[in-house]
Each structure stands twice: as structure tokens, then as C-alpha cells.
Amino acid sequence: MRTRRAIGVWCTAQSPSRSQRTGRYLPETIAHPGRMLPAIARHVIETYTEPHDLVLDPMCGIGTTLIEAMHLGRNAVGVEYERQWAGLAQRGINHARAGGAQGAGFVWNADARSIPDELVEAARGRVKLLLTSPPYGPTCHGQVKVHGRAGHAGAIAKTDQRYSKDRHNLAHRPAREMLAGFTDVLAAAHPLLAPGGIVAVTARPWRRDGNLIDLPAAVLRAGRAAGYVPLERCVALLARCEQIECDEHELGGCSCVPAAPRERLVAHGSFFQLDAVRRANARGVPQSLITHEDVLCMIKEESSRSSRQLKGSQVELQDTSGAAAGSSAEVRGDEPGRDS
């Protein structure tokens, strides 16, 4: 039973990512290149779970899903492939408990394509919500420092733009292989989902050579291949929504309803996002900042066809013209998939 009525557009960036994390997360979590926005995780958890429910993130990174679940009185378990991020997530869990979080949390350092038997048995049929995000690989730009004037040689320094140096990490595999692996992750979690359990995946489109890459659609195909049925597709804003008054009304020359508020979006764009859009517009190619993530909600299919009967390798990442992205070199992106 939901604790909040679901709506299609979520105002989840009224404050930037750094502000949402201050005090609630350990400072070193800023080094992870693919952090989920805490307000998105919080909204999903409040919408689809009740207190004391079990929440799972099979690719938990630094543990944003787990920590937000704990602060909301839910219990949470995560799986993380990289030992350094799993350790940091567990320290973040301890920090949350010390900060008053009522829920319990734990992280397994393992490959979520093959969830440890102990975890499967402990959580079988109990997970009310699986919340995660696919890896963005080479589309992450990490932290940026600009020295001198931008655009000059040596002016830009990037750090923390990679998940790891492990080439077996799905984030560093060709796009088709990454999506097949993500399908396997979702399929492996199938036995853990409770009847009616929800799978929510946040995914952001990005641009490759100016063309928009439809990662959310690829995620939906992966979910279907893993045995889940699409339920909802929502928009989580990555820009602040604010009300403004009509300028003409203030000057007395407007026929609108008195003091009728309007709304505008104020984007929290990264350096590379802003630079890519400015360069495109300067070339006469109209582009706008991507200021949202899709939240793709699916439900466990009771008459499940497991992914062993479906080929995850058939799930491909495509741009809006339908061309498949076949290698990580191709999916480099003009905009980062994650850097908030």
C-alpha cells in the first residue's frame, strides 16, 4: 500500500545534489561518478513502500538507496561489485545509524548477476522495492576543476570519472554487453521480490554526436526480458522548479489573472552539459540541457518467464534514429549520464 499518491512529474532537485548530501552522507562519497540523487531515492521509497519494508539495490554504489530507506524507517540491503564502494556504503550505513536512522542496512560485496545464496535465502520473497540505476560507464565526467580560462589547453582537470579500473565491471563493457548484464542483474533479483513487489530503475538519456540516446527505453526492454511488467514511467526533475510573477502584471500592463504564478525550471547543469549545449547552439544546432531522469517502474510478473528463456544480449541501446550502439567507444556521449 502506497504512503503517497504517485504523480507523473517529481520536483526532486529543489536543492542541488551537494546540498542534499551535506551532513547526511560521508564527504568521500563525492568520488563516486554515478550517484543517485537522494531526493529521487526518497520519493520512490516513500511512494512504493511502507515503514519496515525491505528495499534492495543490487548495484548500490555508495548506498544512496540504502541510506534514504533507513532514514525513512525501512530496512535495506545492497549488493555492490566494487570492494571500495561496498566498504564506503557500509560506512555510510553506520553514519546513518549514528545520525538517527531507524532502519537497518547491510551491503554485500558481490556480483549482482549471481546474488549470493545466503542473501537469496534470507530475503526470498521479502523485497517490496528494488531501486537501482544502470551503470553509465564512459558517459560519466566526475569532478571538474577549471584553471584559467575554459577552453584553453590544460585549463580543465577531471577527477573521479571512473567507477574503477576493473574492465570486468559492467560500467566499462560495451553497451550491448552492459545491458545484457543489467538484464541478468534484474533477473537474479526476481526470487527476492515479494508478490506485487516493485522494480524502479532511474535512467537518464544522453547525447552521442548530438543524437539523443534513449537509455530509458533500453532499460524497459531489459526489465521485460528479466520477467517484469511495465507499470509507470515518471519524470524526476534535475532542475529546481520555482514560481515567478508575470513581469507585465507587475508593470500594470498585463491582462492575466492578478498575481497568477508561473513556473520555470532552473537547471543544475554540469560544466560539460553546459559546454556541450553552448557549443551546439553556436553551430546553429538547437539543444537544451537534459533536466530530468526517467523513473521506470515495473512489477514482478507472477507467471514469470525467466531470463534464462530470454536472451539478454538482444537488449540493445539505441539512439532516436534506431541505430544500435555496439561498443563503449561509441557510447562516449556529449553529456554525462551521471554527474549530479
Task: For residue range 250-279, list pLDDT tens digits in order.
Answer: 444 454 555 556 777 777 766 667 777 788
Which stretch of 170-174, 304-308, 328-332 has the lowest confidence by average pLDDT?
A: 328-332
Task: Write down the pLDDT at residue 1.
Answer: 47
Is it the case that residue 22 has pLDDT exceeding 50? yes
Q: pLDDT band for position 280 (50/70/90)?
A: confident
Task: Write down the pLDDT at residue 283.
Answer: 86
- The CATH number for 9-242+268-314, chosen from 3.40.50.150, 3.40.50.280, 3.30.470.10, 3.30.450.30, is 3.40.50.150
- pLDDT tens for 202-220 read 998 877 777 778 899 999 9
Q: pLDDT band for position 299 (50/70/90)?
A: very high
Task: Write down the pLDDT at residue 224.
Answer: 96
Is it the case that residue 115 has pLDDT exceeding 70? yes
Task: Write down the pLDDT at residue 305.
Answer: 44
- pLDDT tens for 96-105 read 999 999 999 9
How would you write the chain as a 3-class SS string?
A: CCCCCCCCEECCCCCCHHHHHCCCCCHHHHHCCCCCCHHHHHHHHHHHCCCCCEEEECCCCCCHHHHHHHHCCCEEEEEECCHHHHHHHHHHHHHHHHCCCCCCEEEEECCHHHCCHHHHHHHCCCEEEEEECCCCHHHCCCEEEECCCCCCCCCEEEECCCCCCCCCCHHHCCHHHHHHHHHHHHHHCHHHEEEEEEEEEEECCEEECCEEECHHHHHHHHHHHCCEEEEEEEEEECEEEEEECCHHHHCCCCCCCCCCCEEEEEECCCHHHHHHHHHHHHCCCCCCCCCEEEEEEEEECCCCCCCCCCCHHHCCCEECCCCECCCCCCCCCCCCCCCC
275 vs 291, higher pLDDT:
291
The pLDDT of 5-11, averaged and rounded, is 76
- pLDDT tens for 125-171 read 999 999 999 987 555 455 555 555 554 555 555 554 455 666 777 77
